[in-house]
Amino acid sequence: MLDIDSLPALSRAQRVQTLDAWLAGLLDAAVAGTPPPATRRGAAPPRSGTEGLALVAVGSLGRREPPPHGDLDLVLVHDGRPEIAALADAVWYPVWDAGLRLDHSVRSIAEAVAVASIDVKAGLGLLDVRLVAGDADLAARLRTASLGSWRQSASRLLPQLRDLRRERARKVGELAFLLEPDLKEAYGGLREGQVLRAVAAAQLADEPSREAEEAYAFLLDVRDELRRRSGRAQDVLVRQEQRPVAAALGLADEDALLRQVSLAGRRLAFVADETWRRVEAALVRRPRARYRRVHREPLAEGVVRQGDEVVLARDARPATDPGLVLRGAAAAARADLLLSPYTLKVLAVHSPPVPEPWPAEVRWSFLRLLASGRSAVPVIEQLDQEGLLASLLPEWDRVRSLPQRHPWHRFTVDRHLVEAAAAAAELTRDVDRPDLLLVGALLHDIGKGWPGDHSVVGEPIGADIATRMGFAPDDVATIAAMVRHHLLLPDTATRRDIDDPATIERVGETLGGDPALLQLLHALAQADGAATSTSAWSPWKAHLVAALVARVQGSLGTGSGATGLPAHEPVLHPTQPQVTASASEAAGAASAVTVGIEDVADGQQITVGAPDRRGLFSVLAGVMALNQLDVRAAKVNVLDGRATAVFAVRPRFGRAPVATILADAVRAALEGTLPLAERLRQREADYRQDATRAAPSRISWHDSEASGESNSIVEVRAGDRAGLLYRLTAALAGEGLDVTSARVETLGADAADYFYVCNATREPIDAAQRARVESALVEATRGVPEAVTSA
């Protein structure tokens, strides 16, 4: 007789051995105690013993991982024995009498396979079939037939399995971020590991990796201990059981347990997501072709789009290119794609450490990644799972999968920070320094990985990280202040009287009277609240914070919005020309086109000299775009009818600009033989990653006095795409404005462009003309027009 009370105290291997021996005894007793039916004359004699009869386990017992207080899933397989009903009763009743829950069936091989071919749950269960007792050959034939049926029916059954997985995720939630996780049914739970093996059995993916198997085994250990401690069939790791389970597993406390559960769930979910992408690609029927050319679309230097993922270019050199990781990640997020698993492995193994402080190109790629918004979240998870994120930010390990016990929080600390950065990406058009907003959002809770008030301890940590990223000292101080005071506005708005002048004065003093910091903290509060929960950031709270910000702005004597070119504008110096116009043109120096190129720390600086004319700046910007040069800053000076334009550029695909090619293109564009609008329209169509986001563009005006002349600054925040600078400056020229200087910055999918503009007569720009300019600029942000003004 089975001692059911002793089973929970046994290890999994001991439970399997005990249950197998007991069930084998039941089958032997059933065969011995069931007389064969009488046979008719001429019929085959009845078979003795277990010939043509097998008791097989499926489910957890079939996988050799039965939990305490678990069910038994058994199938009695036969090949036509007439006394099978009596045999089955002789096996099942003792199981029920012992107090065990039983899921049972009696099948021939043909019947089992027929059911499995149409029922995804039955098919999944038969993949775990294991002989307990009886005819080993019969059990082997059942396993072979079940596996063959599963592979043959995969195209029909796997979509059903995918839908079941999605439904579980919707109903139960994600294991990694639940405070009381369902270890079995949650997204990333034990079911995930079982499905991974089923997909591998269909020969559509590799067997689960060692890391995935280790994560699965840990969750089994947690579930076993949970059931052993609670004394019942329970898969939800409730709060009151977390401390004793942690102690039994040798972990420090319940937070350490929840963190390890989160890490295991994230690993299983990550592997499962990647596996399902492969499965869905494999199930898509494609026309047969003897030779199929793989389309590869360049995205950035060293990475290309291949199908629905980003892979390394043929000339990529990951071992000598420390910026490749973030450059590839940013390109993937901007195109709303993922890096291929093989590419991730190569980068994890071969990428060298990033120099400290980070080179400008690395920092720029990191900002582009963060500014890509929601599409950056899965890419950052890829970097995290391969250890690439921690190699860039060692402090990240302290907050990785760190649980947050407050019910407001939907995520662990690290995921909350990534979600906050994604939310901040939607607010970059509302602040003067979107780069500081993005980094501040990513780091605002970094102090939670250390003891003490996370705002206080996080301030120096944020400063250290920002310094290592290569930010200027003033910017480092701003990021540190954002970490220190990220709760100032919401806490004050909800706990103090915002109509009290003393409250407003105290907030202003805390911020050192810095209106830019106030603007950043307002956006950070919105991003932080959106990444927490709707309870943490309600419309009422948003209204209170906005009212507080307005009062503090009034006390500081400032308004919102940019006040001119950003303080971080790079210094541009004209360089000596490397190429001039042809000899026949050189006789008239005023009509010559000259181009000078100088290598700088963050790309190249190009100086172009040409005869001044309306729309010249637009022509030069169009030539840069055609030559795949991303313009990050520009400045124009005019003296005695000759213009000198200086562009700070980054080659999109790593190919340095050539002076002769640029000079020839400028001359052709000025002569009208190079159709810039048409060529740029084609370029935009060729590069799908330049598609803009749905957020509307924003146009702002700011008056300024520069060089003794009356100027206005027009600020354009819009989705970035090929030739945007060309179209914007063409629109300004078409409305009769001259561009005297410009500041251009591209972050993720957004461009923030500032233009110093003035009338040819140097008269102020009136309201009517501003309205016309705004309309033209908004139209220019939508794409290349059919005709561009060249006057």
Within 13 Å and on the Cβ side, how many CA atoms surround 516? 17
Condensed to tens digits (0 to 9), the pLDDT of residues 733-752 reads: 888 888 877 777 766 567 78
Instruction: Find the range with the poorest average confidence among 619-623, 692-696, 750-754.
Output: 692-696
pLDDT, average across residues 147-156: 90
CATH 1.10.3090 domain range(s) in the chain: 318-556
Structure tokens at 634: 């520009």
The sign of the CA dihedral 261, 267, 272, 277 is positive
Which of 188, 220, 202 lies closest to 159 in space, CA to CA? 202
Considering the chain, what percentage of its residues have pLDDT values greater than 70?
A: 88
CATH 3.30.460.10 domain range(s) in the chain: 4-35+48-152
Residue 263, judged by CB atoms within 10 A of its CB (0-12, 13-18, 19+), counts as middle
**Higher local confidence (pLDDT), 790 or 316:** 316
φ/ψ (deg, to 5) at 58 = -125, -175
State the pLDDT at residue 119: 87
Judged against a pLDDT cut of 80, whether residue 709 lies above it is answered with: no
Rounded to the nearest angstrom, the gap between the alpha carbon of residue 567 and the centroid of all alpha carbons in its chain is 31
pLDDT, average across residues 367-386: 95
Q: How confident is the model at residue 206 (pLDDT cuts 50, 70, 90)?
A: confident
Tokens 């991303």 sit at which residue? Answer: 630
Structure tokens at 122: 């039955």
pLDDT, average across residues 187-210: 91
State the pLDDT at residue 578: 60
Cα three-residue angle 57-172-115, rounded to 5 degrees: 35
State the pLDDT at residue 775: 92
Judged against a pLDDT cut of 60, whether residue 503 lies above it is answered with: yes
Q: What is the mean pLDDT of the chain?
A: 87
Judged against a pLDDT cut of 60, whether residue 204 lies above it is answered with: yes
**Whole-angstrom Cα Rg for the chain:** 34
pLDDT, average across residues 179-201: 93
Cα three-residue angle 75-164-223, rounded to 5 degrees: 65
Condensed to tens digits (0 to 9), the pLDDT of residues 114-148 reads: 998 888 888 888 999 999 999 999 999 999 999 99
CA distance 437 to 479: 8
Q: Is 640 left (phi over 0), alpha (psi -120 to 50) or beta?
A: left
Query: Is cis: bond before 394, omega within 30 of 0?
Result: no
State the pLDDT at residue 379: 97
Judged against a pLDDT cut of 70, whether residue 360 lies above it is answered with: yes
Judged against a pLDDT cut of 90, whether residue 205 lies above it is answered with: no
Condensed to tens digits (0 to 9), the pLDDT of residues 28-55 reads: 999 998 776 655 555 555 666 788 999 9
Find out whether 663 and 768 touch, Cβ atoms under 8 Å: no
Judged against a pLDDT cut of 50, whether residue 790 lies above it is answered with: no
Q: How confident is the model at residue 587 (pLDDT cuts 50, 70, 90)?
A: very low
pLDDT, average across residues 475-497: 96
CATH of 318-556, one of 1.10.20, 1.10.3470, 3.40.50, 1.10.3090: 1.10.3090
Q: How confident is the model at residue 68 (pLDDT cuts 50, 70, 90)?
A: very high
State the pLDDT at residue 687: 61
CA distance 371 to 428: 8
CA distance 436 to 520: 8
pLDDT, average across residues 296-301: 88
State the pLDDT at residue 789: 38
Judged against a pLDDT cut of 80, whether residue 499 lies above it is answered with: yes
3-class secondary structure, 686: helix
Find out whether 444 and 463 touch, Cβ atoms under 8 Å: no
* Three-state helix/strand/coil letters over 242-304: HHHHHHHCCCCCHHHHHHHHHHHHHHHHHHHHHHHHHHHHHHCCCCCCCCCCCCEEEEECCEE
Rounded to the nearest angstrom, the gap between the alpha carbon of residue 109 and the centroid of all alpha carbons in its chain is 46
Q: How confident is the model at residue 309 (pLDDT cuts 50, 70, 90)?
A: very high
Q: CATH class for domain 175-283? A: mainly alpha
Tokens 């990280």 sit at which residue? Answer: 465
Judged against a pLDDT cut of 90, whether residue 249 lies above it is answered with: yes
Q: Dihedral angle at the C-alpha atoms of 597, 602, 603, 604, nearest 10 degrees?
A: -10
Condensed to tens digits (0 to 9), the pLDDT of residues 225-245 reads: 999 999 999 999 999 999 999
Judged against a pLDDT cut of 50, whether residue 711 lies above it is answered with: yes
Q: How confident is the model at residue 567 (pLDDT cuts 50, 70, 90)?
A: very low
CA distance 398 to 448: 8
Find out whether 692 and 720 touch, Cβ atoms under 8 Å: yes
Q: How confident is the model at residue 561 (pLDDT cuts 50, 70, 90)?
A: very low
State the pLDDT at residue 327: 95
Q: How confident is the model at residue 681 (pLDDT cuts 50, 70, 90)?
A: confident
CATH 1.20.120.330 domain range(s) in the chain: 175-283
Find out whether 371 and 749 touch, Cβ atoms under 8 Å: yes
State the pLDDT at residue 34: 77
Contacts of 700 (CB under 8 A, 6+ apart): 561, 562, 714, 715, 717
Contacts of 738 (CB under 8 A, 6+ apart): 614, 757, 758, 759, 760
Residue 354, judged by CB atoms within 10 A of its CB (0-12, 13-18, 19+), counts as buried
Residue 38 DSSP one-character state? P
Contacts of 351 (CB under 8 A, 6+ apart): 318, 319, 321, 322, 324, 325, 388, 391
Judged against a pLDDT cut of 90, whether residue 589 lies above it is answered with: no
**Higher local confidence (pLDDT), 698 or 392:** 392
Q: How confident is the model at residue 581 (pLDDT cuts 50, 70, 90)?
A: very low
Residue 637, judged by CB atoms within 10 A of its CB (0-12, 13-18, 19+), counts as middle
Tokens 């995921």 sit at which residue? Answer: 415
State the pLDDT at residue 740: 78
pLDDT, average across residues 705-730: 76
CA distance 520 to 417: 16
Judged against a pLDDT cut of 60, whether residue 646 lies above it is answered with: yes
Rounded to the nearest angstrom, the gap between the alpha carbon of residue 42 and the centroid of all alpha carbons in its chain is 72
Strand 594-600 and strand 698-706: the pairing is unpaired
**Higher local confidence (pLDDT), 748 or 251:** 251
Instruction: Find the range with the poorest average confidence among 73-82, 464-473, 742-751.
Output: 742-751
State the pLDDT at residue 786: 44
State the pLDDT at residue 708: 45
The DSSP H or E segment spanning 140 is helix 136-152
Written as one string, the DSSP assignment of 560-597 is: SS--SS-TTPPP------SB---HHHHTSGGG--EEEE
3-class secondary structure, 171: helix
**Higher local confidence (pLDDT), 106 or 432:** 106
Strand 642-651 and strand 603-611: the pairing is antiparallel
CATH of 4-35+48-152, one of 3.40.50.300, 3.40.50.2300, 3.90.1150.10, 3.30.460.10: 3.30.460.10
Judged against a pLDDT cut of 50, whether residue 202 lies above it is answered with: yes
State the pLDDT at residue 563: 44
State the pLDDT at residue 42: 53
Give Dmax over CA atoms of the chain in angstroms.
122
State the pLDDT at residue 727: 87
State the pLDDT at residue 288: 52
State the pLDDT at residue 35: 73
pLDDT, average across residues 481-503: 95
Considering the chain, what percentage of its residues have pLDDT values greater than 90?
A: 59
State the pLDDT at residue 586: 42
Rounded to the nearest angstrom, the gap between the alpha carbon of residue 102 and the centroid of all alpha carbons in its chain is 43
Structure tokens at 295: 């389309």
Q: How confident is the model at residue 366 (pLDDT cuts 50, 70, 90)?
A: very high
State the pLDDT at residue 748: 54
Q: How confident is the model at residue 694 (pLDDT cuts 50, 70, 90)?
A: low
Which of 737, 739, 723 lies closest to 780 in space, CA to CA? 723
